[in-house]
Structure 1
């Protein structure tokens, strides 16, 4: 069966897998964004705490994805729970790093002006510092999303949803009927999904960032 014939026959299933893949990635990144941005705000202005937080979060990136998925099986079993947990752990670091960088890049003169206008610590953070840091923070979320799109394919090893199922299925049957088609379809699906999500973040940045900060 040619690849075009394969796609014509199986595109509904591939589309469903793509939607499932995108869903677990976006859920995991949302969880990581809450953790990363919240922690970044908590350690702002505290260099030692920032270094510790970045060190711990960065350590997660050194753990091989297949090993991490395996380590989570005794805690969460198979399927959705270990998939989202592992992806969120991987996604925290770029979001945390960019949150800290963005908040620290706000000029001191801006803070002095805000204080002079009577803004307290909470008002200064919400109304001035976070909006100015937003482009950098959003870049961290964007990087985390693209990174987890690729890692999510490994989740098929723990019965996670998404396009990884096609890739693993094809690799397990190399030489068999449609094995190459499965592998290529899954791989291309992951690449195209990453591209679409990246474009979505470009659009989101334009919509949520003031012209003066672009």
Structure 2
């Protein structure tokens, strides 16, 4: 234990820099995953015949091993942050798109019928009824994608994107458990903190009445 603490103290500046790189990579990838996956999930609820093939294709992409996917990116985008972010986005698409699709489909048809009776357009129904009611399911997908993204980001160092994976690789090369843990422990803590932050955000934006219902 003392050895690990000494490594953390000695390499504190490197750990801080690597953690910051890891956070930036994860946030950028998660942002683009949300931008792509949420509209995709919404569109699939409008064209349901496409849902199975589209979600199936995204599922197949996710089954590609992380290192292999990063390797495929090198001939197309070179090395560095860009191919790493693209690979991370690919892995984050499925839980967000699938939860968006499922969450909107699970909205009570009676509520949609009532909204139509009030004269709402399809766009208004989406913004004011479907997305608010599906929000918790969508957030669950985003939380899952966040944890996966932070985990995949540790492999970004294989293609020169930096992050906490650099410390892990250095520790493996030196057969030094302390350095490995100096990269692995902050990555695990980041995943937990991001998940807690998203859970808190979801709770904060949930109306009080729905909070009580969710507890019961």
TM-score by length of 1: 0.94
Q: Which moved more, 1:158-167 or 1:40-49?
A: 40-49
Q: Distance in 2 between matches of 1:210 and 1:84?
A: 34
**Contact kept? 1:45, 1:104, Cα under 8 Å:** no
Moved >4 Å (runs of 4+): none
Cα offset for 1:46? 3.1
The corresponding residue for 2:47 is 46
Instruction: Give the 5 Å matches for 1:3-152.
Output: 3-152=4-153
Unaligned 5+ runs, structure 2: 212-216
Whole-angstrom distance in 2 between the partners of 1:26 and 1:163: 14
Equivalent position of 1:201 in the other structure:
198
Contact 1:167 1:186 in 2 (8 A): yes
Aligned match for 1:187, one of 184, 187, 206: 184
Distance in 2 (CA, whole Å) between partners of 1:58 and 1:86 is 14
- Structure 2: how far apart are the matches of 1:23 and 1:106? 35
Q: If the length of structure 2 is used for normalisation, what is the TM-score?
A: 0.94
User: Structure 1: which 5+ runs fail to align?
Assistant: none
8 Å Cα contact 2:4/2:179 also seen in 1: no
What is the root-mean-square deviation in Å for CA atoms of aligned residues? 1.2
Matches of 2:116 and 2:84, distance apart in 1: 44
Aligned length: 210
| Rounded Cα–Cα distance in structure 2 between residues aligned with 1:60 and 1:120 | 35
Per-residue CA deviation, residues 28-70 of structure 1 (Å, 9 max, x unaligned), is 0110111110111111143321111110111111100000000
Per mean C-alpha deviation after superposition, the further-off stretch among 79-88 and 8-17 is 8-17
CA contact (8 A) 2:167 2:179 kept: yes
